[in-house]
Structure 1
Amino acid sequence: MTPSEIAPIPAPRRRPRAAANGMLARVLLAFLATAGLFYVNIMPALVDGLVAGLDFTKRDAGLVGSLNVYGAAVGAFAVVLVVKKLMWRKSAYALMLTLLLLDSLSMMITSPVLLMAMRFLHGVIGGALVGIGFSVIARTVDPDKTFGMLLLVQFGLGGVGVMYLPRLVPEYGTSVLFLSLIAFTLVTLLMLPFLDDYPVEPAPKATAGRIDKGPLALTLAALFLFQAANMGLYAYILPLAEAAGLGTEFTSRTLGQAAWVGILGSGLVVLFSTRFGRTLPLLLAIGLTAAGTWGLHLSAQEWVFWLANVGIGVTWAFVIPYLLGMAAAFDRHGQMAALGGFASKMGLASGPMAAALLVGEGNYGLLINLAVVALILCIAVMLPPARLLDRH
């Protein structure tokens, strides 16, 4: 047999992958950056489900959710230190498999203290995964658009969760809450192979190491305040509505609708990115969030409760992509984006923690007022870095 008669060995086919900066890749990255923290998007259902399904006190149920997010903050901060050196895809596989194990174990726990410990550990792993996701997003072109897609995925699927899970807990128990988290992680695992490699790009020597620490710190503070203000109320929105005399079915439907309508906010970010700058859009959106939050004082009127929640849903999904995009704008390695994720999670955890300590048997008026104050402070600290980035 001559060499010419020998059939060439075909080269192994490379798995098809989504274009690095295409819309499909932005969707896949949104799932990656959500998988470790999806419980935040169903936080009202989680808190209410632990009270209804396991007879936890409102304080204990709030602390379970809060410690889950505090753990995520720890994991996100740890990733900031090593994200440039990580093989992000292999790390994501390992972290998601661990999340599946911890969510499965959580279904078997009925003790508040043990569940707090388990969810804190789950948070550490999930926070590390989200930090990796944020760092990869920062390596894309126009990360603001990808962060907008992130909020679109979170609000869309979170809306399904808060609409249906509270109704399923009485029939199927709290296991249904953790099964929803397991399902989301499994779907994300199937998506991971189709993402591009997103290597770390070396920074030009002239700009290497240059980070405006003052504006960055203000951006992180704005993220913390905005998330704390919103999540502190969101975690207790079901009992707040109940105290106002609203039915569970109406409240769950309203929250689901608010999340779905909130998709408009993230969609606007994907559509416009920074075409109109950051300062004016953020000023208007955070101001509207404060107005909607104050409107919750009038929750006894169904139309006010509905309008306030829908308005906050839109502005929440609009503001966070811009603030995360601002953090990502300070470097292209992804470290500052991961640090932005840490600040965001600290806010998401601190809001429910403060609420759990202050709410008592129903001090919701105080929670609303504190949230409004935090949002006004958010505007004050957001303006300088937003103006700086707009000038550049």
Structure 2
Amino acid sequence: MEAQVVSPPRREAVISQGVGVVALLIAGLQPVILGALEREHRLSTAEIGLAATVELMAIGVACGLAAAFLKPVNIRLKMLVACLLHAAVMWSTTLTSGAGVIATRGLAGACAGVMLWLAIGVIARSSRPERASGVFVTVQTFAQLVLAAALPATVMPQWGVNGALTCLAVISLLAALAALAGPDRFAPLPKPEGGGRLDARSLGGLAAVFLWMAFIVALWVYLEPLAALAGLMPREAGLAVALALGLQVLGGAAATFVGDRVPPARMLLGVGVINALILATLWSGPGRAVFVVCVAVFGFLWLFALPFQTLLLIRIDPTRRASMQLGAAQLLGSSAGPLAASLLVGDGPVGRALLMSAGCLAVSLVLISLFGTRTRPG
């Protein structure tokens, strides 16, 4: 039986999700920001990957710690401090290079993780969490797309990457002002019968989410070299990636329409099978057209699956405490996947990244079938 939760008012929920969107803007802008830092000789090629991994891991760790230890009271003050610090650290990146950039990106990730905690707290308490999650990931991806297109075309030609970083700092300042009109406290989540710790089923569900995201991002970061193997020119590969990003928005919107009409474990298992077919097709060495179709479907399924991860964790743990750790599991998986894939690929064939992705997906589907298809007794 699902525990009863108290949903925040609509206005507060919208503001909270807006702050979360700002927290995750960098996830879609890392290629723009870090690539520009490398072109300006402020990061080496190796440091790009390290800076990206450090920031995403910091967001995931900070979000998880916030969910575990921050009490849902005096939220406006906490968000004001987190957003102001995020703006300050974002701007301080304009003054640094090399190790300094990596350090500031890690600090920015820590602030963003606390900001993301606010959005996840609203989603976990929503009466329709799958709808709230679908709206969140759709708006988040759309905002990333808009800025990824706008910043290089507007501020960066004249002011370089520092112009983009300053714009992101201003956006964080606006989020700080918005947070003052957001929620100041959340109703506490129901307490589990066995105490406050997550049980084995909840941890298994979170591990499934972690591995699912590791599969996705490990494949995503190697799409361009895989496209070259399929015979696509760099411009064609870029168009394929842009198509996938556009279909991500449609995938998130489609998930809000489907909602909870299908059990989340069954939906995720079905999506997983389609993704397995995509990996098998990419491994077989497809032609250019087939490769583009696979990438497009992969992009659609990426965001389509995310709201069902929220529902899965709520079905596993009706107190919704496991779902509060969803952001941490997703972000840590997103950073661990490409790191593990890079170690596996090394100087060898890029196809090894497909094997890495396939292994993560397979274990994730096993965990979902073990922990997600049975209802909790009582």
Q: Compute the TM-score of the two structures, normalised by the length of structure 2.
A: 0.83
Provide the residue aligned with 1:226 in structure 2. Answer: 212
The reply to whether residue 41 of structure 1 matches residue 34 of structure 2 is no
| Structure 2 spans left out of the alignment, 5+ residues | 1-6
- Describe the shift of the 1:165–1:364 C-alpha distance in structure 2 as closer, same or farther (beyond 3 A): farther
Q: Measure how far apart 1:292 and its partner are.
A: 2.7
Supply the AA of the counterpart residue of 2:243: Q
Provide the residue aligned with 2:94 in structure 1. Answer: 107
Provide the residue aligned with 2:120 in structure 1. Answer: 134
Q: Measure how far apart 1:45 and its partner are.
A: 3.5
- Describe the shift of the 1:286–1:164 C-alpha distance in structure 2 as closer, same or farther (beyond 3 A): farther
The reply to whether residue 83 of structure 1 matches residue 58 of structure 2 is no
- Which residue of 29, 49, 52 corresponds with 1:65? 52
Within 5 Å, give how 1:44-193 maps onto structure 2.
Answer: 44-54=31-41, 56-111=43-98, 113-162=99-148, 173-175=160-162, 177-179=164-166, 181-182=168-169, 184-193=171-180
Q: Which structure's CA Rg is the greater one?
A: 1
Q: Write the distance in 1 (CA, Å) between the matches of 2:66 and 2:213.
A: 20
Within 5 Å, give how 1:1-392 maps onto structure 2.
Answer: 20=8, 22=10, 27-54=14-41, 56-111=43-98, 113-162=99-148, 173-175=160-162, 177-179=164-166, 181-182=168-169, 184-196=171-183, 199-201=186-188, 203=190, 209=195, 213-238=199-224, 240-241=226-227, 246-297=232-283, 301-329=287-315, 330-332=317-319, 335-361=321-347, 363-389=349-375
Q: Write the distance in 2 (CA, Å) between the matches of 1:85 and 1:356.
A: 39
- Describe the shift of the 1:63–1:195 C-alpha distance in structure 2 as closer, same or farther (beyond 3 A): same
Q: Compute the TM-score of the two structures, normalised by the length of structure 1.
A: 0.81
| Structure 1 spans left out of the alignment, 5+ residues | 1-18
Matched residues, percent identical?
Answer: 20
Provide the residue aligned with 1:7 in structure 2. Answer: none
| C-alpha contact (below 8 Å) 1:99/1:122 kept by paired residues | yes
Q: Secondary structure at the match of 2:322?
A: helix
Deviates more, 1:335-344 or 1:241-250: 241-250
Q: Write the distance in 1 (CA, Å) between the matches of 2:238 and 2:265.
A: 34
| C-alpha contact (below 8 Å) 1:75/1:125 kept by paired residues | yes
Q: Write the distance in 2 (CA, Å) between the matches of 1:247 and 1:55.
A: 28
- Describe the shift of the 1:303–1:109 C-alpha distance in structure 2 as closer, same or farther (beyond 3 A): farther
Q: Write the distance in 1 (CA, Å) between the matches of 2:281 and 2:12.
A: 38
- Number of residues paired by the alignment? 370
Q: Write the distance in 2 (CA, Å) between the matches of 1:190 and 1:251.
A: 40
Q: Write the distance in 2 (CA, Å) between the matches of 1:170 and 1:352.
A: 30
Supply the AA of the counterpart residue of 1:129: M
Render the CA deviation track for 1:238-276: whole Å, top value 9, x for unaligned: 455467664444433332332222222212222232112
Q: Secondary structure at the match of 2:70?
A: helix
What's the C-alpha RMSD, in Å, of the aligned pairs? 3.3
Supply the AA of the counterpart residue of 1:278: P
Supply the AA of the counterpart residue of 1:107: T
Q: Write the distance in 1 (CA, Å) between the matches of 2:69 and 2:124.
A: 15
Q: Measure how far apart 1:216 and its partner are.
A: 0.8
Q: Write the distance in 1 (CA, Å) between the matches of 2:297 and 2:139.
A: 18
Q: Write the distance in 2 (CA, Å) between the matches of 1:88 and 1:160.
A: 29
Q: Write the distance in 2 (CA, Å) between the matches of 1:255 and 1:100.
A: 30
Q: Write the distance in 1 (CA, Å) between the matches of 2:79 and 2:112.
A: 10
Supply the AA of the counterpart residue of 1:310: A
Q: Measure how far apart 1:285 and its partner are.
A: 1.2
| C-alpha contact (below 8 Å) 1:76/1:130 kept by paired residues | yes
- Describe the shift of the 1:355–1:370 C-alpha distance in structure 2 as closer, same or farther (beyond 3 A): closer
| C-alpha contact (below 8 Å) 1:29/1:137 kept by paired residues | no
Q: Write the distance in 1 (CA, Å) between the matches of 2:328 and 2:104.
A: 20
